[in-house]
């Protein structure tokens, strides 16, 4: 381990070279193997922003990831936390408020400022350098760029695997090359020609095909009095490009060559107003026609922030010398298309000496502007007297193209609506270029199209700070970040928030955040003078046809973060093909965003606008109908997933309420489980909406959904459903019959059993007992599948809860009654499952009624039943139960062998719940067998995987196992941290005995 001087006691992460972690003390370390390093890099490059587990999986694997990919990510994060805590001397555990890597419901956030990640700081410094260069301050620009380039210590993300690292390595390498080019240009602009020559020569060794560097070398040599060498440098450039790439030099380099040949004295002086574009070698000569030269570009907004990659892309497209260059910027209203277009247009203006024309293609009232009127303005700007402007659109367009035929003019067309509106405004000359902004312009042939989204998290915060004052960011950084997120990182909304803060210096950022966090007033708070976010959205909405407008409002009602074509078709009550056309029309109107193929979502602010619009635009009955259709679709989808994966699918789905949605395609096997996992957030939100709808049919369907979802308890964090499930109980009591109400109690009890809130275990027991009370403790199969199965499963869960509460007599009673009910069906597989629960009670009861050897023998019999029935979930459970009998009987090595068998099956089927239990029990067996180091490893894995389950019991057991194993190897301080966490979790479950037993 090396050491560097600490900077303000700040942790730093190096990505510009081999990945390294620099602790607050200045210690430099390699954060684990390449896999964990790749995860750290992904989190660091999005510092302060959520990176989902799925995004990390996609970034690690080139093709289809393995079934264990999510567990691998969790394991990598756990290793990283351990490493970072060790380097910083932090308390073990890694889950507190001060953890560098924070866990969210669906991923992780690296809680470090961007300044502490060298790649992000590099980006900021290069952007600052560009701003200085554009402002005519090349010395300041050079200083920033020199500091930025000095941060590199080799290829970025050196040695890291996976597509994420590969893509970022390429992107960062390109940024490095661009920064190097600009740095060398600033040297020339400062008159440091001779000094620049060796640096340019060195740069060309790394980047032999970058014409900008060849041009800089020619110019540096020429200004140093080495004209012959400048010409020779051109010959070398021409040969390299021809021999290696089979292409000729570009027009800029050819023009520079001609100017050097002619001994052009103008090249000997740095250009005035030295920005990058002004200093670019080979700029076209002034237009020789002597006609009027327009310069219509409005100024770039003074608070323009970010968009470095987009600017680079657009500038490259408009200055590459390609004839008839057309660049299009698309995006929703308020996303900053005009600001980006103006920033780009000013950057490339020097390449178009014929001038710049600008027009907004939208009238003040929001209607599309007429091309004839816009052409009249262009012709006037080009010096055509009013009386000579033709009357017809065709004649105006013809004259416009004639006037530009020998000129190099940049035409900026802002807020275009259709291709038909744009076409008459396109110049015919290949030397001209066009820059267009539009909500959508998919049919427009273009050199490059740049779809624009919201600003990045850091840029969004910076924009607020530029308007409201940097002091606001420094005083309330978390509140500013939250405000930026609430604004959806939309520049117009960010400007509005910043302006409100600037105009109200007595307001804290937190105060404004509280106001905009209220959805009812969110949009009304986001206004700058007469310009409001709502008005911008209204312009887009006004252009919709009546059917599309109705669909836009209806789709906003279900609280879904994302939805597919099938779901939209169900909500809109139309065929899937028609639904897809409608969705794409809304995307084209920039009122809906497309994600993965077939997946759609609202921008947060557009969704808020749509819901507010729907509140008054749709009737109460239409609202209820949409919610009913949404929950109907989810119910059909969950039922299809159950049919595709569950042995008891027939009885489980027999009593479902009639559904309108049919044939929901969720796939089979693992695909069906992945479908359930993906829709879980939407399912939770829509069920809660159904509970509040007051609609009996919606409530009944929502109860059906929650009855079926526990079939996937091995792969889903069911605790997320607790709030929605408990909200359904009073709704079912108010609007539905006894059967639905009893089932709602059962569903709520199931979800609460998995919830992380204090006291949820006892609340779960109360709800399950209420379900048994409603249906009776001995329903017959002939009474119907629903009451029978609800009581059967409720009794089994009550037994499991009673074991956790150490009430073994009650647990045994509930389990035995469950076995008796199962026996009444004659279904031996069902009896085997309930018997397994009874054996689990027996094996954990210190005062057990059955000999441990007999328990083990009975488990082996049941394993045969589950093997023949291909019931993997219960086969794993009964193997674990047999292993428990061996562990408690002192046969530790034999127990470890069985736990490993169960673990292998659990991992192969992605059963994270069973995997967690296997791992911490295996750790206990290994510890008892004297293999403490191996126990530590498995216990760490258990802690990592337990986070995916979000179940307190499993998290507590894993923490306890790790603490005990660490204590056995003498790592007492770390052990105490984990044992304290286990005690805290047990106390939250109101389990005083286990809490006292593990308290360090």
How far is residue 53's CA from residue 14's CA, in Å, rounded to a whole number? 22
Query: Which domain, by its residues, includes 92?
Result: 1-190
- State whether 487 and 344 are in the same domain: no
- State whether 383 and 492 are in the same domain: no
- DSSP secondary structure string for all residues of 309-321: HHHHHHHHHHHS-
pLDDT for position 262: 67
Closest alpha carbon to 8 in 21, 28, 22, 29:
22
Per-residue pLDDT of 299-329, as tens digits, reads 888 888 888 888 888 888 888 778 888 999 9
Confidence tier at 997 by pLDDT (50, 70, 90): low
pLDDT for position 560: 82
Percentage of the chain beyond pLDDT 70 is 93
Confidence tier at 353 by pLDDT (50, 70, 90): confident
Find out whether 741 and 703 touch, Cβ atoms under 8 Å: no
The answer to the question of residue 594 being in a domain is yes
Q: Which has the minimum average pLDDT: 3-7, 259-263, 392-396, 808-812?
A: 3-7
Residue 114, classed as helix, strand or coil, is: helix
Q: Tokens 């730093």, residue? A: 12
- State whether 508 and 432 are in the same domain: no
- As given in the structure block, the two tokens for residue 842 are 């027996």
Name which residue leads in pLDDT, 386 or 684.
684
- State whether 148 and 53 are in the same domain: yes
What mean pLDDT do residues 696-713 have? 89
- State whether 407 and 476 are in the same domain: no
Whether the per-residue pLDDT at 94 is higher than 70: the answer is no
pLDDT for position 288: 30
Q: How many CA atoms lie within 13 A of 330 on its CB side?
A: 20
pLDDT for position 998: 60
Average pLDDT of the chain to the nearest whole number: 84
What mean pLDDT do residues 881-887 have? 92
- State whether 344 and 407 are in the same domain: yes
Find out whether 519 and 548 touch, Cβ atoms under 8 Å: no
How far is residue 409's CA from residue 324's CA, in Å, rounded to a whole number? 11
Residue 117, classed as helix, strand or coil, is: strand
How far is residue 947's CA from residue 74's CA, in Å, rounded to a whole number? 8
The three-state (H, E, C) secondary structure of 129-165, written as one string: HHHHHHCCCHHHHHHHHHHHHCCCCCCCCCCCCHHHH
Please identify, among 422, 451, 480, the residue that sits at the C-terminal boundary of a domain: 451
Per-residue pLDDT of 808-838, as tens digits, reads 999 999 999 999 998 988 888 889 999 999 9
Q: Tokens 């359930």, residue? A: 676
**Domain count within the chain:** 5
Whether the per-residue pLDDT at 280 is higher than 60: the answer is no
How far separated are the first and last CA of the chain, in Å rounded?
33
Whether the per-residue pLDDT at 770 is higher than 90: the answer is yes
The count of other CB atoms within 10 Å of the CB of residue 447 is: 18
Confidence tier at 992 by pLDDT (50, 70, 90): low
Please identify, among 600, 615, 630, the residue that sits at the C-terminal boundary of a domain: 615
Q: Any idea what DSSP says for residue 25?
A: T
- State whether 155 and 66 are in the same domain: yes
CA-based torsion, 367, 372, 376, 378: positive or negative? positive
The set of residues, in sequence order, having a beta carbon less than 8 Å from that of 366 and lying 6+ positions away, is: 538, 539, 542
The answer to the question of residue 584 being in a domain is yes
Please identify, among 481, 507, 529, the residue that sits at the C-terminal boundary of a domain: 529
What mean pLDDT do residues 940-958 have? 85
Confidence tier at 350 by pLDDT (50, 70, 90): confident
How far is residue 802's CA from residue 765's CA, in Å, rounded to a whole number? 9
788: left (phi over 0), alpha (psi -120 to 50) or beta: alpha
- Return the bridge partners of 326, or none: 434
pLDDT for position 131: 87
Residues 901, 903, 909: CA angle, nearest 5 degrees: 110
The answer to the question of residue 650 being in a domain is no
Whether the per-residue pLDDT at 7 is higher than 50: the answer is no
- State whether 499 and 597 are in the same domain: no
The answer to the question of residue 490 being in a domain is yes
The answer to the question of residue 793 being in a domain is no
Please, what is the angle between helix 308-319 and helix 337-348, to 10°? Answer: 50
How far is residue 863's CA from residue 832's CA, in Å, rounded to a whole number? 9
The CATH number assigned to the domain holding 964 equals 1.25.40.10
- State whether 538 and 600 are in the same domain: yes
pLDDT for position 768: 92
Closest alpha carbon to 679 in 715, 634, 630:
634
Strands 325-330 and 448-451: parallel
pLDDT for position 674: 84
Confidence tier at 276 by pLDDT (50, 70, 90): very low
- DSSP secondary structure string for all residues of 243-270: IIIS----HHHHHHHHHHHTT-GGGGSP
What mean pLDDT do residues 476-502 have? 86
Per-residue pLDDT of 910-940, as tens digits, reads 788 888 889 989 999 999 999 989 999 898 8
Residue 14, classed as helix, strand or coil, is: strand
Per-residue pLDDT of 557-594, as tens digits, reads 888 878 888 888 888 999 989 999 999 888 888 888 88
How far is residue 549's CA from residue 536's CA, in Å, rounded to a whole number? 16
Per-residue pLDDT of 959-990, as tens digits, reads 888 999 998 988 888 888 888 888 888 887 77
Q: Tokens 């404004």, residue? A: 512
- State whether 877 and 955 are in the same domain: yes
Residue 433 parent element (H or E): strand 433-438
The answer to the question of residue 196 being in a domain is no
The answer to the question of residue 181 being in a domain is yes
Confidence tier at 996 by pLDDT (50, 70, 90): low
Closest alpha carbon to 411 in 363, 440, 368, 374:
374
Per-residue pLDDT of 117-141, as tens digits, reads 999 999 999 988 888 888 877 878 8
- State whether 81 and 128 are in the same domain: yes
How far is residue 722's CA from residue 754's CA, in Å, rounded to a whole number? 8
Whether the per-residue pLDDT at 254 is higher than 90: the answer is no
pLDDT for position 11: 79
The count of other CB atoms within 10 Å of the CB of residue 139 is: 13
The answer to the question of residue 663 being in a domain is no
Per-residue pLDDT of 510-564, as tens digits, reads 888 888 877 777 777 777 666 677 778 888 888 889 999 999 999 988 888 788 8
- State whether 40 and 70 are in the same domain: yes
């Amino acid at each position: 381990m090396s050491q560097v001087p600490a900077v303000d006691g700040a942790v730093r992460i190096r990505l510009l070279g081999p990945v390294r972690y620099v602790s607050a003390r200045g210690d430099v370390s390699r954060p684990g193997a390449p896999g964990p390093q790749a995860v750290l890099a992904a989190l660091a490059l999005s510092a302060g922003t959520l990176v989902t587990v799925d995004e990390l999986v996609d970034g690690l694997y080139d093709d289809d990831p393995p079934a264990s990919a999510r567990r691998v990510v969790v394991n990598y994060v756990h290793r990283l936390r351990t490493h970072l805590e060790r380097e910083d001397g932090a308390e073990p555990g890694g889950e507190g408020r001060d953890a560098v890597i924070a866990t969210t419901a669906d991923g992780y956030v690296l809680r470090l400022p961007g300044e502490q990640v060298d790649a992000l700081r590099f980006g900021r410094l290069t952007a600052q350098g560009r701003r200085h260069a554009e402002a005519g301050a090349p010395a300041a620009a050079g200083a920033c760029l020199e500091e930025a380039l000095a941060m590199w210590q080799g290829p970025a993300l050196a040695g890291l695997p996976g597509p994420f690292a590969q893509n970022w390595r390429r992107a960062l390498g390109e940024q490095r090359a661009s920064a190097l080019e600009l740095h060398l240009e600033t040297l020339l602009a400062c008159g440091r020609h001779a000094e620049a020559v060796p640096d340019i020569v060195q740069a060309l060794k790394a980047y032999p095909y970058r014409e900008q560097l060849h041009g800089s070398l020619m110019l540096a040599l020429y200004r140093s009095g080495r004209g012959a060498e400048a010409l020779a440098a051109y010959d070398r450039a021409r040969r390299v490009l021809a021999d290696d790439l089979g292409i000729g030099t570009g027009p800029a380099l050819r023009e520079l060559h001609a100017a050097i040949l002619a001994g052009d004295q103008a090249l000997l002086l740095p250009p005035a107003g030295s920005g990058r574009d002004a200093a670019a070698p080979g700029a076209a000569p002034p237009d020789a026609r002597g006609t009027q030269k327009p310069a219509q570009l409005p100024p770039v907004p003074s608070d323009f922030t970010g968009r470095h990659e987009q600017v680079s892309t657009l500038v490259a497209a408009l200055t590459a010398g390609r004839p008839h260059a057309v660049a299009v910027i698309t995006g929703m209203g308020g996303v900053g298309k005009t600001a980006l277009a103006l920033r780009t247009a000013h950057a490339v203006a020097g390449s178009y000496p014929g001038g710049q024309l600008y027009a907004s293609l939208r009238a003040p009232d929001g209607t599309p502007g007429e091309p004839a009127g816009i052409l009249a303005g262009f012709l006037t700007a080009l010096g055509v007297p009013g009386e000579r402007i033709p009357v017809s659109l065709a004649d105006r367009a013809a004259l416009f193209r004639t006037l530009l035929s020998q000129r190099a003019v940049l035409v900026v067309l802002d807020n275009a609506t259709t291709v038909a509106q744009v076409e008459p405004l396109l110049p015919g000359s290949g030397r001209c270029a066009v820059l267009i902004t539009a909500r959508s312009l998919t049919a427009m042939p273009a050199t490059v199209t740049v779809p624009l989204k919201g600003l990045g998290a850091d840029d969004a915060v910076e924009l607020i700070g530029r308007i409201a004052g940097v002091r606001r960011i420094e005083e309330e950084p978390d509140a500013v970040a939250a405000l930026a997120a609430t604004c959806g990182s939309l520049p117009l909304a960010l400007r509005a928030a910043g302006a409100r803060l600037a105009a109200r210096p007595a307001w804290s950022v937190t105060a404004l955040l509280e106001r905009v966090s209220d959805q009812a007033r969110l949009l009304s708070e986001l206004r700058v003078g007469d310009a409001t976010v709502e008005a911008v959205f209204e312009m887009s909405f006004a252009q919709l046809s009546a059917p599309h407008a109705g669909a836009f409002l209806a789709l906003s009602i279900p609280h879904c973060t994302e939805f597919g074509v099938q779901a939209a078709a169900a909500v809109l009550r139309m065929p899937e093909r028609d639904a897809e056309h409608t969705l794409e029309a809304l995307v084209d109107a920039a009122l809906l965003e497309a994600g993965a193929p077939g997946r759609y979502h609202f921008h947060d602010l557009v969704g808020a606008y749509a819901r507010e619009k729907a509140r008054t635009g749709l009737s109460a009955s239409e609202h209820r109908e949409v919610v009913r259709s949404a929950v109907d679709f989810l119910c059909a989808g969950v039922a299809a997933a159950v049919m595709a994966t569950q042995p008891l699918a027939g009885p489980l789905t027999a009593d479902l309420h009639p559904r309108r949605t049919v044939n929901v395609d969720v796939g089979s096997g693992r695909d069906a489980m992945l479908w359930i996992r993906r829709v879980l957030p939407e399912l939770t939100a829509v069920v809660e909406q159904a509970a509040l709808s007051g609609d009996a049919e919606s409530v009944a369907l929502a109860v059906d959904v929650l009855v079926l979802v526990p079939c996937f308890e091995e792969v889903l964090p069911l605790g997320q459903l607790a709030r929605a499930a408990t909200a359904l109980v009073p709704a079912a009591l108010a609007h539905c019959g006894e059967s639905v109400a009893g089932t709602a109690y059962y569903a709520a009890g199931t979800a609460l059993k998995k919830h992380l809130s204090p006291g949820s275990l006892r609340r779960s027991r109360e709800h399950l007992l209420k379900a048994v009370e409603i249906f009776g403790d001995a329903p017959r199969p002939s009474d119907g599948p629903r009451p029978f199965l609800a009581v059967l499963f409720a009794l089994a869960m009550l037994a499991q809860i009673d074991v956790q509460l150490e009430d073994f007599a009650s647990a045994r009673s509930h389990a035995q009654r469950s076995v008796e009910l199962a026996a009444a069906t004659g279904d031996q597989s069902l009896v085997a499952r309930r018997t397994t629960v009874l054996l689990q009670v027996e094996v954990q009861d210190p005062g057990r009624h059955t000999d441990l050897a007999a328990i083990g023998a009975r488990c082996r019999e049941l394993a045969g039943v589950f093997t023949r029935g291909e019931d993997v979930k219960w086969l794993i459970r009964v193997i674990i139960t047999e292993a428990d009998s061996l562990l408690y009987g002192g046969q530790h090595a034999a127990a470890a062998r069985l736990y490993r068998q169960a673990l292998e099956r659990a991992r192969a089927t992605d059963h994270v719940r069973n995997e967690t239990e296997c791992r911490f029990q295996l750790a206990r067996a290994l510890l008892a067998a004297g293999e403490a180091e191996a126990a530590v490893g498995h216990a760490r894995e258990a802690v990592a995987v337990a986070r995916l389950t979000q179940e307190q019991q499993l998290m507590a057991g894993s923490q306890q196992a790790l603490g005990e194993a660490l204590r056995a190897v003498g790592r007492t301080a770390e052990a105490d941290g984990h044992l304290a966490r286990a005690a805290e979790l047990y106390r939250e479950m109101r389990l005083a005995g286990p809490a006292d037993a593990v308290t360090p």
